Copies of this chain bind each other. A is one copy, B any other.
Amino acid sequence: MAGTDRSRAGASGGPAIILVEPQLGENIGTAARAMMNCGLGDLRLVRPRDGWPSDKAIAAASGANIVLEKARLYPSVPEAIADLTHVYAATARDRGMVRREVTPRHAAAEMRAWLAADEPCGVLIGPERTGLLNDDVALADTVLSVPLNPAFSSLNLAQAVLLIGYEWFQLGDDTPAEQLALGHSVPANKEHLLRFFEHLEEELDRSGFMRDPEKRPSMVRNLRNLFQRAGCTEQELRTLHGVVTSFCGPRKRKAAE
């Protein structure tokens, strides 16, 4: 049975989100949406005030129905966390309790490690107005607190779930922090870029823009730098050639002169 429980908890591919006595169906729905945004699937509900299932939850989930359909209902926190090995309690700081306390980012790293070791884990999140009872916090190993503006730190259910899930998702995601998105374009090679530079400079020589021979080298350098920095694509080079040509006439004029 323990084996069954474990695989059940692990099947979602993420930590369980356990909403304790959530009040509004809407908030359960938006929490489910936030879970699905972050690839989380194991939603557990302890005594939702307005009953379950909830049409309001479905309406608010904006398509995250699968999370709601798989949600499981429990009569108490101990039953909701029975199969878990590690449990966090999401609360604001300063309960006057002696607890290990971590940030969502740190919790995400721990949860990744635990799930990789087949140790199911989850996060308890309390009711909208009051948050978790201290007795529920005492059932968790660790307090999870989101560092936010201390003068204004309260989050609604979905936002708490989103920040916890967001950190979880980031750790498994390989999006580069910075990249050049190319759409369907091909970055230009240097031969083509240099051909454009020559086209431009040839026309600027002709137009008289670079008539001062002392300033010419630095003007050439500055213009080349600008276009290098922009990281042109092949399509953009064709457009730039066209711009120069539209100002100055077709390039073959040179041969004609």
A contact residues vs B (CB 8 Å cutoff) = 34, 36-39, 62-64, 93-103, 105-106, 143, 145-149, 152-155, 158-159, 162-163, 166, 169-170, 173, 175-185, 231, 233, 236
The minimal Cβ–Cβ distance linking A183 to chain B, given in whole angstroms, is 4
The minimal Cβ–Cβ distance linking A199 to chain B, given in whole angstroms, is 21
The minimal Cβ–Cβ distance linking A85 to chain B, given in whole angstroms, is 16
Q: How far is the CA of A129 from the CA of B149 in the complex (A)?
A: 29
Contact assessment for B183 and A149 in the assembled complex, using a CB-CB cutoff below 8 Å: no
Q: How far is the CA of A166 from the CA of B169 in the complex (A)?
A: 15
Contact assessment for A180 and B149 in the assembled complex, using a CB-CB cutoff below 8 Å: no
Contact assessment for B169 and A148 in the assembled complex, using a CB-CB cutoff below 8 Å: yes
- Among residues of B, the one whose C-beta sits closest to the C-beta of A155 is B37
Q: Which residues of the partner chain B approach A64 to less than 8 Å between Cβ atoms?
A: 152
The minimal Cβ–Cβ distance linking A161 to chain B, given in whole angstroms, is 10
- Among residues of B, the one whose C-beta sits closest to the C-beta of A183 is B96
- Among residues of B, the one whose C-beta sits closest to the C-beta of A100 is B180
Q: Which residues of the partner chain B approach A175 to less than 8 Å between Cβ atoms?
A: 103, 145, 147
Neighbour of A147 across the interface among B159, B163, B169, CB < 8 A: B169
Contact assessment for A99 and B181 in the assembled complex, using a CB-CB cutoff below 8 Å: yes
Q: How far is the CA of A102 from the CA of B175 in the complex (A)?
A: 9
Q: Which residues of the partner chain B approach A166 to less than 8 Å between Cβ atoms?
A: 146, 148, 163, 166
Q: Which residues of the partner chain B approach A162 to less than 8 Å between Cβ atoms?
A: 159, 162-163
Q: Which residues of the partner chain B approach A149 to less than 8 Å between Cβ atoms?
A: 36-39, 169
Q: Which residues of the partner chain B approach A233 to less than 8 Å between Cβ atoms?
A: 98
Q: How far is the CA of A185 from the CA of B100 in the complex (A)?
A: 13
Q: How far is the CA of A175 from the CA of B149 in the complex (A)?
A: 12
Contact assessment for B105 and A152 in the assembled complex, using a CB-CB cutoff below 8 Å: no
Known: A38-B148, A64-B152, A102-B177. 16 other contacts (CB 8 A): A36-B152, A37-B154, A37-B155, A93-B181, A96-B183, A101-B180, A102-B179, A103-B177, A105-B177, A106-B178, A146-B166, A148-B169, A149-B169, A159-B162, A162-B162, A162-B163
